[in-house]
């Protein structure tokens, strides 16, 4: 890692400190010979040294997480494959359970639409909007769980 990249990443990871303390900590890392360090680990040690209970982790993209899950699927380890099977089964059930409150709210408000306004166009727009809201919620939850599972596998060295 280049010096500029390292310092930029470390500055980002130290974003919870005020500017003066942040600059002071960055100055202590400006004259290193080797910048092949992990900014997340350094930031965690700085926060711990300052008595702050803040943990930072490396941001991973969705594609990196999916790649990690695919690598785990390629493994011959039955325990990992069984774990992934239960993970996806859990995700499927969770997404179904998340749908239930959306159905109840949609039906309750649809009843109000039918009573107050007899316009089918508003009813259709409301239904589509609410289904889109559910789809976005389900996708965001799915992405969050995939990233967490991939992080678990990366930490375990799989």
58-113 confidence digits (pLDDT tens)? 777 888 888 888 888 888 889 989 999 999 999 999 999 999 999 999 888 888 87
Average pLDDT of span 20-40: 80
CB 25 within 8 A of CB 13: no
Is the pLDDT confidence value at 135 over 80? yes
**What pLDDT was estimated at residue 117?**
75
In whole angstroms, give the CA distance from residue 80 to residue 85. 9
Count the Cβ atoms, other than its own, within 10 Å of residue 95: 16
**What pLDDT was estimated at residue 1?**
67
CB 61 within 8 A of CB 49: no
Between the CA of residue 20 and those of 14, 15, 16, 23, 30, what are the distances in Å?
Answer: 11, 11, 12, 5, 15
| Mean pLDDT score of the chain | 86
Reported as a pLDDT band with limits 50, 70 and 90, residue 56 is confident
């Amino acid at each position: 890692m280049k010096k500029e990249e390292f310092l930029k990443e470390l500055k980002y990871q130290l974003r919870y400190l005020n500017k003066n303390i942040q600059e002071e900590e960055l100055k202590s890392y400006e004259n290193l010979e080797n910048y092949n360090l992990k900014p997340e680990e350094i930031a965690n040690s700085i926060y711990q040294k300052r008595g702050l209970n803040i943990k930072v982790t490396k941001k991973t993209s969705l594609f990196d997480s999916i790649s990690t899950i695919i690598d785990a699927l390629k493994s011959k380890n039955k325990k990992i494959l069984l774990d992934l099977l239960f993970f996806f089964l859990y995700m499927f059930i969770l997404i179904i359970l998340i749908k239930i409150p959306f159905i109840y709210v949609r039906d309750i408000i649809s009843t109000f639409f039918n009573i107050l306004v007899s316009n089918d166009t508003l009813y259709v727009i409301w239904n589509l909007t609410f289904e889109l809201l559910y789809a976005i919620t389900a996708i965001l939850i799915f992405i969050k769980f995939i990233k967490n599972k991939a992080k678990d596998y990366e930490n375990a060295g799989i």
